[in-house]
Structure 1
Amino acid sequence: MELKQVTRIESISKDDFVRDYVRPQKPVVIKKLIQDWPAYRKWNLEYIREMAGDRTVPLYDDRPISSRFKFNEAHAEMKMSDYIDLLEREPTNYRIFLYNLLKQVPKLQEDFSFPDIGLRFLKQLPMLFFGGANSKVFMHYDIDYANILHFHFHGKKQCILFPPSESKNLYKVPHALISREDIDFNDPDFEKFPVLKKAQGYITELNHGETLYMPEGYWHHMTYLTAGFSMSLRATPRTLTNFSKAVYNLVFMRHFDNYMRKMRGQRWIDYKNRQAVTRTHKKHHINQ
C-alpha cells in the first residue's frame, strides 16, 4: 500500500476549506479548529465519567461479523463508569461505536458548537466513539456517505483513509460497507491479498483537540494508540450520486443483508467473504 500523510494545517477559513478540501474531496487535519470550545479544555475520560457514569452504553469488540448479530448490533453493554474504569485499567477491545451520548446527556451539548466551515451539518446526529489502547475499527465507509468532521479527545488515535475510488483494491465485501475483516491494515498480508499493494491512501495520527475531515464515502480504519474517545459531526452528501447511494444503503442494502443473515445464517457471511476475494482478483485478472 502507498499511504501519504494527511495534510495538517493550523486553522482555515470557511471559503478556503470548501475550495481546497470539500470540493476536491481531500482529507485534512485542522489542529486548532475547536480551541474555543469548552470541550477542548474539559473533555477527558474523567469528565465523561462525571457527566455520564450512570448511563448504560452499548459495546462492540473485534470479533468477526457473524449471522448471530444484526447490522451494527452491539455485542455487550456496561455502565459508562465501569467502562471507563476498564479503559484506564488495561487494554481492551471493547469500543463504543456510533452512540448518541449527547442525546442521553444533553448537558454535554453545551461544550461544543457546530463550526461555520461550509458544511450542512445534521444537527441531531453528533456521535461519540470510545476505544481502549490498541483497539481497532475495521476498514469501512459510512452508510450515509456523509462528510465528517472527526474530533479527537484524550490520547492518540491512528487513522488510515482511502478515497472511494480505491474500493476496487480493498477487497470490499458485497452487500456491506466493509473490507475483509481478516486484513490487518497495519501489517497487510500481500501474499493472501496481493491487490492491496495497489491501494493508495492516507495516514495520520490525531491528538487531543485535533479535527480530521473525512470526505463523503471515504474508507477509514482507526486504531486507538491509547485509550480515548472522539466525536463526529456529519454533513449531508454534496452530490446527487452519493445521496442516492446513501438512500440505497439505508432503505435497501442493510435490510436485505439482515434478511439474508436470518435466512442463510453463517453461509451468507462466508459467501460474501469469498466473493470479496473472487471479485477483486477477477477485476485485476489474478488467478485464484
Structure 2
Amino acid sequence: MELNLEQIPREQTLSKKEFIRKYFRPQKPVVIENFVDDWPAYSKWNLDYIKEVAGEKIVPLYDDRPVKHDEGFNEPHARMRMGDYIELLKNESTKYRIFLWNVLKEVPQLQKDFTYPNFGLRLMKGLPMLFFGGSDSHTFMHYDIDLANIFHFHFEGKKQCILFPQSETKFLYKIPHSLITREDIDFAKPDLKKWPALKNAKGHVTQLEHGNVLYIPEGYWHHMKYITPGFSLSLRAIARRPKNFGKAVYNLLFMRHFDNLMRRLKGQEWIDWKNEKAIERTHSLLFQELGP
C-alpha cells in the first residue's frame, strides 16, 4: 500500500488572472512547465555554470542525520568549496544538500539571469534562495517557518516533490514545537505498518524537470527528493490568509525560541520526548477521527 497522492496539475503557461483564480484563491498547487523560457537562466543555469561563477565560494552542507539537541538552528553539518561540491554531485551519490543559499548575498551576478514574475503576489525580492542536492538526497517532510507562498523553479535533472496541506497535519506524525515530521519516516517509500496514520493523509506529488515551476501554497508540507543531481530557485510571498499569517508570527517570535530554550535546558531528553509525543498525538487523533 502506498501514500494517497494525486498528481499535481500541470499547465503549459498561466496568466496572472488564471493563476489567482485557479490556484492561489483555492490554495491548490500547480506545475507551470514553460514559464521561464525567456529567462537567461533557462539556457545558462546548470551545475557547470554555477561552478564557473561560484566555484570558490565556501558553502554550508546538510545531510539527513536526525536533529540533535546541541546543534544550533540550521547549523550546517559540513562546509566545502562550491566547485568541489559540484564535482561531488556529478561523480557520486551524496546525502549532502545546500538549502537557503541567498543568491543576492553570495553571487549577485546571478540575479541578472532571472526576473521576479508577476503572479499577482508581492514577492520578497531580498530572499531568492537556491537549493542543491545529489542523487537520492532528500529533505525531511517540513513546512516553512513563515508559511509563505512559494514558487520553486527547478534547473538541471529531476526532482520528486510530495506535498500535503496543513489540513492533513493530524496524520503526518508532526513533531511538537517544530516544523517537521518524524525524521525516520521515508516519505518516498513509507512503512505504513509502522506509520498507519499516513494511510489517511491525502496529498499531492509531481516530478520537476529543468525549467518547471512548482507553486506551493501557504504552509503546505513538502518533501523533496533529488532523482538526479540538480538545483532549484525559490521565490516567496508572505502568507495572505490571516490564520497562516498568525501562525507565521507565532513561529518566528515564540516557537523557535521556546524550542531552542528547551534544548538547552533538557538536552536530548527534550528531543526524545518530542519524538514520542509525535506518535502519541497522531495515533490519538487517528483514533478520534476513525473511531473504535
What is the TM-score with the length of structure 1 in the denominator?
0.98
Identity of aligned residues (%): 62
CA shift for structure 1 position 78: 0.7
- The answer as to 2:124 corresponding to 1:122 is yes
* Structure 2 equivalent of residue 67 of structure 1: 69
- How far off its partner does 1:102 sit? 3.1
Deviations 1:204-250 (A, max 9, x none): 00000000000000000000000000010010111122111111111
Match of residue 165 from structure 1: 167
Alpha-carbon distance in 1 for matches of 2:104, 2:137: 23
Q: What is the CA distance between 1:284 and its match in structure 2? A: 1.7
2:152 pairs with one of 150, 167, 192: 150
Asked whether the equivalents of residues 150 and 235 of structure 2 are also in contact (C-alpha less than 8 Å), the reply is: yes
3-state SS of paired residue (1:181): coil
CA distance in structure 1 between the aligned counterparts of 2:25 and 2:207, rounded to whole angstroms = 24
Residue in structure 1 matched with residue 54 of structure 2 by the alignment: 52
C-alpha displacement at 1:73, in angstroms? 1.3
Counterpart of 2:224 in structure 1 is: 222
Check the 8 A contact 2:103/2:111 in 1, yes or no. no
Gaps of 5+ in 1: none
State the alpha-carbon separation in 2 of the partners of residues 230 and 160 from structure 1.
15
Corresponding residue for residue 93 of structure 1: 95
Counterpart residue number, 1:102: 104
Deviations 1:116-149 (A, max 9, x none): 1111101100000000100011100000010000
Alignment partner of 2:235: what SS? strand
Distance 2:164 2:180 in 1: 12
Task: Name the SS of the counterpart of 1:4 in structure 2.
Answer: strand
Question: Matched residues in 2 for 1:6 and 1:250: separation?
Answer: 30
Instruction: Name the structure 1 match of 2:203.
Output: 201
Structure 1 residues 15-24 or 65-74, which shifts more? 65-74
CA deviations over 1:78-130 (Å, ceiling 9, x no partner) = 11011001101101000001111332111000000000111110110000000
| Whole-angstrom CA distance in 2 between matches of 1:49 and 1:241 | 42
Runs of 4+ in structure 1 displaced over 2 angstroms? none
**Following TM superposition, by how much is the alpha carbon of 1:68 offset from its aligned partner in structure 2, in angstroms?**
2.4
What is the one-letter code of the residue matched to 2:236?
R
Root-mean-square deviation over aligned CA pairs: 1.1
Matched letter for residue 177 of structure 2:
H
Residue 255 of structure 1: how far off its partner (Å): 1.1
Q: Is the 8 A contact 2:104 2:126 kept in 1?
A: no
Q: How many residue pairs end up in the alignment?
A: 287
Residue from 29, 32, 38 that aligns with 2:31: 29
Amino acid at match of 1:264: K
* 1:186 corresponding residue in structure 2: 188
Unpaired runs of 5+ residues, structure 2, are none
